[in-house]
Structure 1
């Protein structure tokens, strides 16, 4: 008997999770049928998306408002398609504003089992989201090991399935050597700089990062700065680099095919002695490459005030949270200034080994060395059907 799975992703990170999950389901249950919405990774596993996933990749109030009526119609159409097809399970992946509204409509009209992949960060802020979510979600697939008890307390089944970062390939010594040779880096120590992937982040952070790196390089003149740019902001980063060290190497994804750039980025991460990065999941990519880091981020004033009052944790860096340490320095809000960042970089350059153990623990706790997260997620779904 065939298993029917409706799977829904709304952005590239969800598409990657969905593709790996679908591959896992096909491995464990060859007679599986898929319907739903996704991108290229899910299409590679046999999904014919009902509409372009990019319609759902909308962020921010100003961007959502003009498309509100269209998105609302897509929510209704998707729920109606699920109810008509009657799958054994509906799996929604991240994108909660869209996914959970669809799940709510489906649950209100049926007993179809609902699974949500990626737990909301209730450990950081707005803990009541889990209780609200439990009204329409039966099971959660969690990326972080401390999330299941929080979801279970709200009334949902929850399985830790591992973080996708543990399955990402790491650079070989040959790739590192090729990077150094191609860009004439010699044996210089390298500083990786990652000022974000959104225009608003780069606009705020690039000048601060530049001044910080200039001050650091004044003390450590042998260090070269390497910047693997995010495609949407590659030109902006280079335009904003007036105050960056003169010999900074910018790696532009728009100048390489995707596979080649992925290799260059892997090599840059692995070859670097330390990193200065915007806050976000990039801290886990750095940990996977065993690259010690300083995290820095400047928020809008109002955002910072709200965060200070609503935050339930004293760190925003996942390496600190997962390893239960505070070894990764954070320069956030008013502390995101060149003098403070340069001092943290200097201290890190003098004692990088302090972070190595925490990064290794983080990777182990996220599932490194175990079953691939996509297969583990598939097994968790099937075990509870």
Structure 2
């Protein structure tokens, strides 16, 4: 654990889900390399706590997604918001940094505005994708916005908001460093086994929607590819949920919770099915041919379709400006369609090669100017916001 110094500047950090926890831990490491006297408090997961964060309550209490899925949690989330506000009021940190989780983070930033504490939000709300009108509510929520995608800087500046592109953290993920032979040896897989990555999501509200479809898809897939081995990389937060949901599968999956083991699985993989989001960029960095699939509550889907303003859901497609990878969403998230898509990805070298060529172009645009690592660029922006910085 990184030691903290009681009389140094205090940075209050918030991460509400697994991806934010990883991002927060890297940010804390970069900040610590620049100033050893920083103290970190707030809300975060295991990785941030291992990096020295004093967490107010378990991050998992905030990990929920979906317009309908969140309704049963509103009361408990409201209580936790009150807890976070009181903690900031009592601790009076020198700076507040919220990471992603806009549903909780933006409410928190608004509530603490009267305290006069400098605020930074890291990972922009994706209002460019849907509900663009919400950007009118952002002035006054933060003093600086750190964005991950190259086009976001201009988008927010057009709306009068100070945004800084710091590069995408996937570039520091190590997803491309895996060892296929090590993965096969560790899990007793033959050289001929066809590894298929299944990524149902990092939230407990996501995985149960995709896993039943994946299980049925595998039954169909095995008829054509009998040597396929499903591998499910998940965060420890949802590992129990995944284990229970896959207990009855005809094909026993390899469930991976270790980050290095996940990267080894990527290196061994012939294809992947993943939800939309950062996981698509991880797989692209590792060169894994993929299709994106997703299923949410039908009411959530109906509302989202009326609001979404971008042509693609998959981040790699959005950045490429074309349908680089297949998108099988909602009604198309069907076992037969998924199985047919996986067969093409695994057995057609031309399909895989075309995707990999497109991945290279996408990834080249994700690094900020100066070739600085994303966490270091973000740390410099954040330290500049400290009093006397």
SS state of the match for residue 356, structure 1? helix
Q: Residue deviations 1:82-107, cap 9 Å, x none?
A: 5xx362x3222223333223322332
| Equivalence for 1:52 | 57
With structure 1 as the length reference, what TM-score do the two structures score? 0.84
Seen in structure 2, the aligned counterparts of structure 1 residues 184 and 344 have a Cα distance that, compared at 3 Å, is closer
Q: Say whether 1:181 aligns with 2:180.
A: no
Report the CA distance shift for 1:177/1:171 in structure 2 as closer, same or farther (over 3 A).
Answer: farther
CA distance in 2, matches of 1:86, 1:234: 38
Counterpart position of 1:381 = 382
- Equivalent residue runs for 1:207-356 within 5 Å: 207-228=212-233, 230-242=238-250, 248-253=251-256, 261-349=258-346, 350=348, 351-356=351-356
Q: 1:372 to 1:292 in 2, by over 3 A?
A: same
1:43-102 Cα shifts (integer Å, max 9, x gaps) = 4444433x22437525243442342552243143034135xx362x32222233332233
Pick from 78, 81, 102: which aligns with 2:90? 81
Secondary structure of the 1:147 match is helix
Name the SS of the counterpart of 1:316 in structure 2.
Answer: coil
- Corresponding residue for 1:61? 70
The alpha-carbon distance between structure 1 residues 146 and 35, as it changes in their structure 2 partners (threshold 3 A), is same
Contact 2:211 2:246 in 1 (8 A): no
Name structure 2 gaps, 5 residues minimum. Answer: 1-6
SS in 2 for 1:306: helix
What TM-score do you get using the length of structure 2 for normalisation?
0.83
In 1, Cα distance between equivalents of 2:206 and 2:16 = 22
Unaligned runs of 5+ in 1: 243-247
- How far, CA to CA, are the matches of 2:53 and 2:239 in structure 1? 26
The CA RMSD over aligned residues, in Å, is: 2.9
Q: Shift of residue 3 of structure 1?
A: 4.7
Quickly say closer, same or farther: Cα 1:67–1:145, change in 2 above 3 A.
same
> Tell me, what secondary structure is at the counterpart of 1:208?
helix
Question: Which of 73, 77, 99 matches 1:93?
Answer: 99
SS across alignment from 1:114: strand
Cα pair distance change 1:40/1:303, threshold 3 Å: closer
Tell me, in whole angstroms, the C-alpha distance in 1 between the residues paired with 2:166 and 2:24.
13
* Aligned equivalents of 1:184, 1:109: Cα separation in 2: 57
SS in 1 for 2:192: coil
Give, in whole Å, the separation in 2 of the partners of 1:279 and 1:271. Answer: 21
Query: Residues 201, 91 of structure 1: CA spacing in aligned structure 2 closer, same or farther, 3 A cutoff?
Result: closer
The secondary structure found in structure 2 opposite 1:239 is coil
> Following TM superposition, by how much is the alpha carbon of 1:165 offset from its aligned partner in structure 2, in angstroms?
1.8
Contact residue 9 and residue 53 of structure 1 kept, 8 A = no
Give the CA deviation at 1:376: 1.0
Q: 1:21 aligns with which of 24, 27, 35?
A: 27
Answering whether residue 160 of structure 2 is matched by residue 121 of structure 1, we say no
